[in-house]
Amino acid sequence: MTVLAKAIQTISELSERDYIEIISTYMGMTDPSYNCTLCKSHYKRDVERQRKHQERKGCFSTFPTPILKYRGGQNTPMKSASRVEYFHCPARFYSSFWANIINLHFNYDRGVMPFPGSVLEQPAKIVEAFNLIHNLKEETRIEQEEIAAKYGKRSKR
């Protein structure tokens, strides 16, 4: 971790657990491969295949090596602090609390604050969470544009 990342972490209101839960919840909300409901409904007729699939993804056990690494995109200001390694399915860190906050981000982008007052009067933790959510959304948008450019299609916005 860089000196800057350590300095920012000391004044951060988001805990490491919050950070991981926000990233995991966002992944579960936006990526079908990390959405438990979609995963289970895909294999609902074949329980044995569902169990094997869940074992491969790490739904019930922890692997000795990471099965997924989140490194943060070019848009993430703290690249070194945004590295998260998952030794099991990230959906295990899904949080309904953070899912609600992620859904509130749409309003925050349009100037509707979750607490009374202006942006500067919002709790530091919620502002940090919204900044991380913004970065995750931008990373997703950039990835979609890169994929669309690769296949010669326009991206959906």
pLDDT digits (tens, 9 = 90+) for 98-124: 999 999 999 998 989 999 998 888 898
Which percentage of the chain shows pLDDT scores above 70? 83
The pTM of the full predicted model, rounded to 2 decimals, is 0.76
Q: Which of 88, 87, 89, 101 has its CA nearest to residue 19?
A: 101
Q: Which of 21, 12, 11 has its CA nearest to residue 94?
A: 21
* Whole-angstrom distance, CA of residue 129 vs CA of residue 123: 10
